[in-house]
Amino acid sequence: MKVILLVLAGLNLLAFALYGIDKWKAKRGAWRISEATLLLVSFLGGSLGALLGMELFRHKTRHVKFRVLVPLFLILHIALGVYMVKRGLLP
């Protein structure tokens, strides 16, 4: 359980940081983090960090793909967590 929580915390911190870094790079015309990478980290468990990064940094908020997929991933992660707790897979 602790390992799962640590991995999820790490993925959310990573997602948040990636959105901030990508916004910083966008403002400076620098090499960017791919949209696929941003969405993959969100899908793998960093959806809350990605959503917070989108809102705080005002980054990717005009992209329909991000406005739909990131919250959808968060809903799926919450549903999976509830399912796992109800099944006794998580305390």
In a domain, 73, yes or no: yes
What confidence tens digit (pLDDT) does each residue in 1-38 have? Answer: 789 899 999 999 999 999 999 999 999 999 999 999 99
Distance between CA 69 and CA 84 in Å, rounded? 22
**Which residue is listed with tokens 């809903």?**
75
Whether residue 91 is contained in a domain is answered as no
Q: CA 6, 12, 15, 21 torsion: positive or negative?
A: negative
**Domain assignment of residue 68, yes or no:** yes
Query: Can you give the pLDDT at residue 16?
Result: 98
Q: Give the separation between CA 40 and CA 63, rounded to whole angstroms.
A: 16
Number of domains, the chain: 1
pLDDT tens-digit profile of 33-86?
999 999 999 999 999 999 999 999 999 999 999 999 999 999 999 999 999 999
pLDDT at 91 over 80: no
Which pTM does this prediction carry?
A: 0.92
Domain that holds residue 65: 2-86
Closest CA to 59 of 11, 26, 14, 12: 26
